[in-house]
Amino acid sequence: MATSKQVLIPNEQHPITVTAQGEHVVATVGGRVIADTREALTLQESTYPAVRYIPRKDVDFTLLERSEHETYCPYKGDASYFSIRAGETSADNSVWTYESPFDAVAEIKEYVAFYPNVVDVQVRED
């Protein structure tokens, strides 16, 4: 992918791994389910907390509204954001996705992640 922005490759000093766990993962906000999947990925980046990425196909996009907010990660690429609009619950820019991630994390394309201070993402025992 051609970009004029700095692009960094994960390495020993800044490792990134993406793994499939095969667990049943459910994301809720205000008691309302906004995602339910058995295909979540876990992205572990350096010393940051692990992040669950959920396939877009398993997310209720009727509860999300695309925002204008964007950020850039030199390891992953440009992130686009969504705000949650679920009844009485409203949370700006609380969901993000890498629509064209860099090759090192290509697995997260078509996945979204949620800010844990807004969305409760839990592994459920079946």
Residue ranges making up the domain that contains 91: 16-124
- Residue appearing with tokens 């509860």: 63
Q: What pLDDT is stored for residue 18 in this prediction?
A: 98
Q: Does residue 103 belong to any structural domain of this protein?
A: yes
Q: Does residue 10 belong to any structural domain of this protein?
A: no
Q: Does residue 8 belong to any structural domain of this protein?
A: no
Count CA atoms closer than 13 A to 95's CA, side-chain side: 30
Amino acid, res. 12: E
Q: Does residue 26 belong to any structural domain of this protein?
A: yes
Q: Which of 41, 102, 90, 44 is nearest to 65 (CA)?
A: 90
- Looking up residue 64, the CATH number of its domain turns out to be 2.170.150.40
pLDDT tens track, the chain, 126 positions: 566 899 999 999 999 999 998 999 999 998 899 999 999 999 999 999 999 999 999 999 999 999 999 999 999 999 999 999 988 889 999 999 999 999 999 999 999 999 999 999 999 987
- Report the number of distinct structural domains present in the chain: 1
